[in-house]
């Protein structure tokens, strides 16, 4: 085992040993279906606190050939799958968190140099006879290893998009990073699977993407991955029963993320809950705002105070409980390129501050917890009229709903 090459199963074991573990190993069956196929490139984008790192730990433990993890998976959902034994512990795994390398370096060139150096060092330790002394190309090192072992790699990249969140304005660094990822992974025989997780979908320049080989699953289009983007309503029901918590309270505080998958020809709508917040509420017994433990309202404030036409009115309507129509198609998949109100709202969907309703192409504030973040942000801004507007909108919405109900009864 190494730091990055075949890292073992410690991370996933810690998840299993935790007070609350919700079995999401069904994801593995979905991933097995694309290993060693043309669809082997997967990019999953979710907000913070939605289990991205846990998923990469789980995949690493399942595929890593340096350990036998039958004892971890034999009692879990994946063990019922036909592909369970075929793929378990059969691959060399490279597991990396790109934030680690970004945080320790001061430029894109330095980051990529350190990244390659560390990866090659791990490969050299694992395969001293196959990696040349002084090799400085990760591509060549992996080609040489694969040429001798014929065992392809599972590449797992967590926080792949951290550069776009921290180097927001540096277009040259962004393009260099995307070009490196493309050369490293695209059309390489040594890749059995490339699985990336982040908050943002893959950045596009103009009409093109440097990583166009990836299939993307996001908060606006999760498809068959939808049920793995958080806790489902059934899973939260079970947790509330176990911990003797009020389900309706959990629903009000943490539900509201509507994700759509296809069930045959019909759409299947999953009502998803924020995992970390649910876990904290179950363990503490307190329904509260746990969002600010990982991100402050200042992050939200930056975006909602942008002076795009109609943005303030949209926020007011959603705080009052209404939905707002949105066009997600113009979003550039970064945190700086905004052409209109819809681009800002689309970013807030990817950050978890809004829920996207695919069926009618609208957005809403998902729950009480997130709504509190909007209130916190607005209370520090020059939006004194907003709270009054919210109350007026709420009253109007309630009045309209009451009138509709009366007509239905009549």
Give per-residue pLDDT as tens, 102-148.
Answer: 999 999 999 999 999 999 999 999 999 999 999 999 999 999 999 99
Mean pLDDT of 141-165: 95
pLDDT of residue 410: 45
DSSP per-residue string spanning 123-138: HHHH-TTTSPTT---H
Where a domain ends, among 191, 217, 243? 217
Inter-residue contact 324 to 345 (CB < 8 Å): yes
Instruction: Locate 204 and state its tokens.
Output: 């596009």
Whether the per-residue pLDDT at 353 is higher than 90: the answer is: yes
The reply to whether 238 and 208 lie within a common domain is no
Q: What is the mean pLDDT of residues 53-69?
A: 97
How many C-beta neighbours within 10 Å does residue 365 have? 25
Dihedral, 385, 389, 390, 395 alpha carbons, nearest 10? 150
Same domain, 272 and 367: no
Distance, in Å, from the CA atom of 50 to the CA atom of 53, rounded to the nearest integer, reads 9
**Residue 335, pLDDT score:** 85
* pLDDT at residue 395 in the model: 65
Mean pLDDT of 259-265: 85
Q: What is the predicted pLDDT for the residue at 299?
A: 78
148 with 262, same domain: the answer is no
280 versus 385: the higher-pLDDT residue is: 280
Asked which of 288, 306, 323 is the last residue of a domain, the reply is: 288
Distance CA(276)–CA(290), nearest Å, equals: 8
Q: Are residues 15 and 162 in the same domain?
A: yes
CATH of the domain at 35: 3.40.50
Helix ranges, 150-232 (H): 162-166, 171-185
**DSSP secondary structure code for residue 272 in this structure:** E
255 contacts 271 by C-beta, under 8 angstroms: yes
Residue 387 pLDDT > 80, yes or no? Answer: no
**Residue 47 · residue 219 · CB < 8 Å:** yes
Per the domain annotation, does 4 fall within a domain? no
Q: Are 222 and 70 in contact (CB under 8 A)?
A: no
Last residue of a domain, one of 217, 237, 264: 217
Instruction: Specify the 3-state DSSP secondary structure of 78.
Output: helix
| pLDDT per position as a tens digit, 73-99 | 999 999 999 999 999 999 999 999 999
408 pLDDT higher than 50: no
Residue 368 confidence (pLDDT) above 90 = yes
Lowest mean pLDDT among 218-227, 250-259, 302-311, 350-359: 302-311
The verdict on 307 and 408 lying in the same domain is: yes
Work out the mean pLDDT of the chain and round it to a whole number: 90
Instruction: Kindly give the pairing relationship between strand 362-364 and strand 324-325.
Output: antiparallel
Tokens of 184: 């490293």
Say how far apart CA 171 and CA 236 lie, in whole Å.
42
Q: Write out pLDDT tens, residues 389-405.
A: 666 656 665 665 555 45
The more confident residue out of 116 and 337 is: 116
Model pTM score:
0.91
Q: Are residues 17 and 123 in the same domain?
A: yes
Q: Are residues 208 and 237 in the same domain?
A: no
DSSP 8-state secondary structure symbol assigned to residue 77: G
Residues 196 and 265 in one domain: no
Q: Which residues pair with 94 in a beta bridge?
A: 5, 155
Q: Looking at the predicted structure, is the pLDDT value of residue 310 above 90?
A: no
Pairwise CA distance, residues 20 & 99, whole Å? 26
Residue 64's pLDDT band (boundaries 50, 70, 90)? very high
pLDDT of residue 385: 61
2 lies in some domain:
no
Going by pLDDT thresholds of 50, 70 and 90, the confidence category of residue 2 is confident
Pair (302, 192) in one structural domain: no
Mean pLDDT lowest for which of 196-200, 257-261, 401-405?
401-405
Q: Where are the alpha helices (DSSP H) in 77-154?
A: 84-87, 98-103, 108-126, 138-149
Determine the angle formed by the axes of helices 384-409 and 311-319, rounding to 10 degrees: 50
Please give the residue range of the domain that contains residue 283.
226-288
Q: Is residue 147 part of a domain?
A: yes
Examine residue 267 and state whether it is found in any structural domain, yes or no.
yes
Identify whether residues 77 and 53 lie together within a single domain: yes
Domain count, the chain: 3
HSE-CB for 290 with a 13 A CA cutoff: 21
CB atoms within 10 A of CB 285: 9
Token pair in block for residue 168: 């927001």
Q: Give Cα separations from 373 to 63, 228, 297, 317, 344 (angstroms).
A: 39, 25, 6, 16, 16
- How many other CB atoms are found less than 10 A from the CB of residue 301? 17
Is the predicted pLDDT of residue 407 greater than 60, yes or no?
Answer: no
In a domain, 101, yes or no: yes
Over residues 23-52, mean pLDDT: 95
Q: Is residue 341 part of a domain?
A: yes
Domain annotation covers residue 379: yes
Strands of 205-277 (E only): list them: 215-217, 231-232, 257-263, 266-273
Question: So what's the pLDDT on residue 291?
Answer: 80
Q: Exposed/middle/buried for 29, CB within 10 Å: 0-12, 13-18, 19+?
A: middle
Contact indicator for 66, 6 with CB cutoff of 8 Å: yes
Instruction: Indicate if 189 and 309 belong to the same structural domain.
Output: no
Residue 3 lies in a domain: no
Per DSSP, the three-state class of 5 is strand
Q: Are residues 178 and 240 in the same domain?
A: no
Using DSSP bridges, classify how beta strands 324-325 and 355-357 pair: parallel, antiparallel or unpaired: unpaired
Lowest mean pLDDT among 111-120, 212-221, 325-334, 374-383: 374-383
Residues near 72 by Cβ (< 8 Å), separated by ≥ 6? 9, 12, 13, 16, 61
Percent of the chain exceeding pLDDT 70 equals: 90
H and E: helices and strands count for the chain = 18, 11
Taking alpha carbons only, the member of 78, 83, 79, 76 closest to residue 33 is 83
> What is the arithmetic mean of pLDDT over 366-385?
85
| Better-predicted residue by pLDDT, 263 or 344 | 344
């Amino acid at each position: 085992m190494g730091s990055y090459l075949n890292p073992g199963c410690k991370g996933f074991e810690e998840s299993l040993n935790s007070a609350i573990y919700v079995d999401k190993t069904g994801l593995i069956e979905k991933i097995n279906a694309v290993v060693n196929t043309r669809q082997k490139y997967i990019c999953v984008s979710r907000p913070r606190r939605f289990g991205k790192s846990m998923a990469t730990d789980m995949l690493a433990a399942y595929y890593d050939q340096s350990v036998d993890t039958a004892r971890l998976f034999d009692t879990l959902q994946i063990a019922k799958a036909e592909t369970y034994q075929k793929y378990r512990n059969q691959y060399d795994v490279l597991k990396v968190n790109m934030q680690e390398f970004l945080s320790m370096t001061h430029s894109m060139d330095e980051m990529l140099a350190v990244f390659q150096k560390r990866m090659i060092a791990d490969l050299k330790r694992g395969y001293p006879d196959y990696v040349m002394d002084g090799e400085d190309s990760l591509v060549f090192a992996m080609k040489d290893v694969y040429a001798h072992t014929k065992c392809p790699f599972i590449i797992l990249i967590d926080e792949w998009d951290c550069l776009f969140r921290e180097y927001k304005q540096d277009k040259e660094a962004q393009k260099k990073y995307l070009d490196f990822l493309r050369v490293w992974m695209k059309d390489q025989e040594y890749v059995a699977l490339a699985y990336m997780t982040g908050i943002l979908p893959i950045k596009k320049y103009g009409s093109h993407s440097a990583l166009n080989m990836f299939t993307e699953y996001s908060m606006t289009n999760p498809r068959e991955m939808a049920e793995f983007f958080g806790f489902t309503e059934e899973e939260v029901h079970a947790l509330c029963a176990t911990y003797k918590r009020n389900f309706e309270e959990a629903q009000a505080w943490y539900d509201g993320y509507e994700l759509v998958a296809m069930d045959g020809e019909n759409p299947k709508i999953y009502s998803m809950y924020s995992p970390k917040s649910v876990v904290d509420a179950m363990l503490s017994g307190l329904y509260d705002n746990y969002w600010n433990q990982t991100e402050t309202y200042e992050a939200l404030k930056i975006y909602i105070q942008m002076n795009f036409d109609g943005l303030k009115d949209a926020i007011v309507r959603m705080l009052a409980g209404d939905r707002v129509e949105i066009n997600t198609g113009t979003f550039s998949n970064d945190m700086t390129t905004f052409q209109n109100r819809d681009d800002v709202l689309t970013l807030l969907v990817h950050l978890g501050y809004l829920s996207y309703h695919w069926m009618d192409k609208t957005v809403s504030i998902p729950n009480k917890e997130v709504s509190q973040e909007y209130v916190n942000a607005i209370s520090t801004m020059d939006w004194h009229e907003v709270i009054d507007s919210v109350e007026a909108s709420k009253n109007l919405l309630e009045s309209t709903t009451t009138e509709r109900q009366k007509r239905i009864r009549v």
